[in-house]
Amino acid sequence: FFWQVGLRVIHICLPEGSSKDEIVNEILRLNEDPDVLGLALDLPENLYSSKVLNAVKPEKDVDGLSDVNLGRLVRGDAYDCLVPPTACAVMELLEDLGGKTVLLVGASGAMGAALQCMLQREGAATLSCQWKAPQLQAKLHHADVVVVGSTKPDDVPVSWIKPGTTIISCSRDLLSEKHNHGQQNNHAAENTVGSLAIAMRMQNMVKTTERWIQSQQHRKWDLRCLKLQPLSPVPSDIEISRAQSPKAVDVLAKEIGLLTDEIEIYGQTKAKVRLSLLERLKNQPDGKYVLVAGITPTPLGEGKSTVTIGLVQALTAHLNINSFACLRQPSQGPTFGVKGGAAGGGYAQVIPMEEFNLHLTGDIHAITAANNLLAAAIDARILHENTQSDKALYNRLVPVVNGVRGFSPIQLVRLRRLGINKTDPGTLTEEEISKFARLDIDPSTITWQRVVDTNDRFLRKITVGQASTEKGFVRQAQFDIAVASEIMAILALTTSLQDMKERLGKMVVANDKKGEPITAEDLGVTGALAVLMKDAIKPTLMQTLEGTPVFVHAGPFANIAHGNSSVLADKIALKLVGEKGFV
């Protein structure tokens, strides 16, 4: 029936004899699948344990049997909970319960608890007992409605039920007993809940889908701000930071409208935000963009970060206006130098300060790895071209794998750029092989340097290639600070993973001996660079001292920067604050 209401159902059959742990593992996998909006269980009775039922996320629990959903039902939060379909079906069949006595027989566990709660709300006097209870006959005789939750034993005659009693059976073998009941007590009205329960389960599925659609829409933040307790004299920045207890980052993410599958949590106070958010909120109007700038820098900075954080704390924590601070990640060079960190100052800081100022989520380390991989590829390519024939180079670049030799996509791009319109490696002429295999990099024109995110003055000018294995290929080189890498600038300016990959491929690293530029794409490392940067492209969510949101992303070195943290952090923040918010 599900397809008739526009639902797509996937039926997962686990092997017979699967243990509870195996079932729970499958449930946990489905919990994290963003394409699965609801989860219904159809298990043998002995496997419906609390462990299994509570493994299902409450928002995906279309059977309504988890402790969270039952708790909400008992508390009266009907809108927030999902009610067990069988209980809903029973209530649909019953009318005008005020003053009537309803007996639940063999209805235990979550379904029994839900039924008792719902019947009592409708004014029914609700009793419950098991089939073997000694007072069962008396209770059956006085009941106006009997709800059967499990199979009736043969030693309990239907004649115990008084004429005119409404019988509703939730037992799976109801249909096989129906005619016998009719013969023995033709005054009793019996109803089955099977098909109706299926319909109620579908209704729950529709409800979860509607909630998911609502969650995709932008809404005003429900932010719980942290209280400041200013002291006089004002303590040091680190003392102020450590005195505040930050919110858990998943709580902050939920407050500002991020979905569970849109964040990747790093510890308690940091989370990466996925770029899929931009697709979800693509129709949401942007907020207003404010740039805090400065001039005449001092050795200790100018106060741009402090002013930025002070502004968003005032707007959000005190004026209840959605606002987001977008800051650059500080380099460890200045952090361990005279300037120090860049988390702001006084009572306008990003917290925890130590997390912000040091490794954060490893973005700068990813840039260091990508930058130095490219530097290594340049020197390795020069060495191999100096020591090998065209044929040997070609065999290394286009090896035979499982008896087949083929060009990679990036090699096909290079061939087209060289004017060689061939796709079969075996058809290239000797001249074309030489043209393809050799970059002929001029070492004196190499502009791509290695980087390290530490102030180490003795690396400003170095000599590489002194080991005997480098065949005498020695040249002068240098280390730059990691945040001055062109990869950092690309991270700050990129708009998507594909855009970043294209920009990385176009980076010019040197010239060949004819004066033509050599790019990262010529070296065939574009994919490797993009893979190293796949997590760094996601902005990091943190918070201010007053619990307002902050994006920390990129960190282009100040004297060569373009002014903002990253285009992506700004674009995401502008969507999250809404049309009346500020970034």
Q: Bigger pLDDT: 243 or 9?
A: 243
What radius of gyration do the chain's Cα atoms show?
34
Q: What is the pLDDT of residues 11-35, one digit of tens each?
A: 888 888 888 899 999 999 998 888 8
Residues 177, 201 contacting (CB under 8 angstroms): no
pLDDT of residue 111: 82
Cα 159 to chain centroid, rounded: 59
The number of C-alpha atoms within 13 Å of 264 and in the hemisphere containing its C-beta is 13
Residue 180 has pLDDT above 80, yes or no: no
Q: What is the pLDDT of residues 459-498, one digit of tens each?
A: 999 999 999 998 888 999 999 999 889 999 999 999 999 9
Residue 233 has pLDDT above 60, yes or no: yes
Strands 263-266 and 270-273: antiparallel
Identify the structural domains of the chain with CATH numbers, from first to last. 2-201 (3.40.50.720), 237-361+537-577 (3.40.50.300), 363-532 (3.30.1510.10)
Alpha-helical regions (H) of 444-511: 486-493, 497-505
Listed in sequence order, the residues at least 6 apart from 209 whose beta carbon sits closer than 8 Å to its beta carbon are 7, 37, 38
Name the DSSP letter for residue 478: -
Task: Give me the mean pLDDT over the 61-82 stretch.
Answer: 85
Task: Give me the mean pLDDT over the 237-263 stretch.
Answer: 92
Q: What is the pLDDT of residues 408-467, one digit of tens each?
A: 989 999 999 899 999 999 999 999 999 999 999 999 999 999 999 988 889 999 999 999
CA distance to 287, 376, 441, per residue, from 516 (Å): 45, 21, 9
Residue 462 buriedness (CB in 10 A; 0-12 / 13-18 / 19+): middle
Task: Give me the mean pLDDT over the 370-396 stretch.
Answer: 94
Omega of the bond prior to 233 within 30 degrees of 0, cis? yes
Alpha-helical regions (H) of 94-164: 109-121, 136-142
Q: What is the pLDDT of residues 85-138, one digit of tens each?
A: 888 888 888 878 888 888 888 887 788 888 888 888 888 888 888 888 888 888
Q: What is the pLDDT of residues 518-572, one digit of tens each?
A: 999 999 999 999 999 999 999 999 999 999 999 999 986 655 566 678 999 999 9
Task: Give me the mean pLDDT over the 244-261 stretch.
Answer: 93
Q: pTM score, two decimals?
A: 0.74
**Phi and psi torsions of 411, nearest 5°:** -70, -35
pLDDT of residue 269: 95
Residues 504, 474 contacting (CB under 8 angstroms): no
Strands 404-405 and 400-401: antiparallel
Confidence class of residue 8 from pLDDT cuts 50, 70 and 90?
confident
Residues 170, 149 contacting (CB under 8 angstroms): yes
Task: Assign 3-state DSSP to the chain and report helix, strand, coil percentages, each to 5.
Answer: 45, 15, 45
Confidence class of residue 166 from pLDDT cuts 50, 70 and 90?
confident
Task: Give me the mean pLDDT over the 135-157 stretch.
Answer: 83
pLDDT of residue 428: 92
Residue 185 has pLDDT above 80, yes or no: no
Q: Bigger pLDDT: 344 or 349?
A: 349
Give the whole-angstrom CA distance, residue 259 versus residue 125. Answer: 43
pLDDT of residue 191: 55
**DSSP class per residue in 55-118:** TS-GGGBTT--SHHHHHHHHHT-TTTS---HHHHHHHHH----TT-EEEEES--HHHHHHHHHH
Question: Could you tell me which residues are beta bridge partners of residue 404?
Answer: 401
pLDDT of residue 222: 86
Cα 536 to chain centroid, rounded: 14
Helix, strand, or coil (residue 267)? coil
Q: Sign of the C-alpha dihedral, residues 410, 414, 420, 425?
A: negative
**Phi and psi torsions of 353, nearest 5°:** -60, -40
> By mean pLDDT, which of 130-139, 164-173, 205-214 is the weakest?
164-173
At position 398, the amino acid (one-letter code) is V
Strands 125-129 and 549-552: unpaired
Confidence class of residue 197 from pLDDT cuts 50, 70 and 90?
confident
Cα 302 to chain centroid, rounded: 36
Q: Which of 122-131, 198-207, 298-307, 379-388 has the highest mean pLDDT?
A: 379-388
pLDDT of residue 569: 96
pLDDT of residue 1: 58
Give the whole-angstrom CA distance, residue 524 versus residue 380. Answer: 13
Torsion of CA 464, 469, 472, 478, to 10 degrees: -10
CA distance to 237, 239, 338, per residue, from 234 (Å): 9, 10, 22
Give the whole-angstrom CA distance, residue 443 versus residue 463. Answer: 13
Residue 195 has pLDDT above 90, yes or no: no
Give the whole-angstrom CA distance, residue 143 versus residue 135. Answer: 12
**DSSP class per residue in 190-207:** EEE-HHHHHHHHHHHHHH
